[in-house]
């Protein structure tokens, strides 16, 4: 396979080791009998994934315990929409 490097502002090149691990784990996540994309976001398996992701994110970005980590959809559009809400003052 010929690899292309994307230096654009959106999605970028993912290391092949990450792609290979995703390929191995996508059909069945840790003997759960289902793929991560098939499981409930409220289930114990996915809760463990989210907790581990948050722990790694907190460590990498040095996020203190006094802050909450939110996983939200929306990308740049969501961020742009949030600007006026963050600048709004309560009366």
pLDDT tens-digit series, residues 15-65: 899 999 999 988 998 888 999 889 998 999 999 999 999 999 999 999 999
Domain co-membership, 33 together with 48: no
Structural domain containing residue 50: 40-91
Which helix (H) or strand (E) is 18 found in, with range? helix 16-25
The confidence band for 91, taking pLDDT boundaries of 50, 70 and 90, is low
Same domain (yes/no): 25, 55: no
Q: What is the pLDDT of residue 61?
A: 96
Residue 47 shares a structural domain with residue 26: no
Question: Do residues 29 and 35 make contact, with C-beta atoms less than 8 angstroms apart?
Answer: yes
**Same domain, yes or no: 34 and 10:** yes
Distance separating alpha carbons of residues 52 and 58, to the nearest angstrom: 10
Structure tokens at 8: 């654009």
* pLDDT of 1 strictly over 70: no
The answer to which of 3-7, 48-52, 85-89 has the lowest mean pLDDT is 3-7
pLDDT at res. 12:
76
CA distances from 24 to 31, 39, 53, 55 (A): 12, 17, 19, 23
């Amino acid at each position: 396979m010929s690899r292309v490097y994307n230096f654009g502002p959106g999605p970028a090149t993912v290391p092949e080791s990450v792609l290979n691990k995703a390929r191995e784990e996508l059909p069945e996540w840790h003997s759960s009998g289902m793929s991560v994309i098939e499981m409930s976001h409220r289930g114990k398996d996915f809760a463990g994934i989210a907790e581990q992701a948050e722990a790694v994110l907190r460590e990498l970005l040095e996020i203190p315990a006094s802050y909450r980590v939110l996983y939200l959809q929306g990308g740049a559009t969501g961020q742009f929409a949030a600007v006026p809400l963050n600048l709004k003052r309560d009366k």
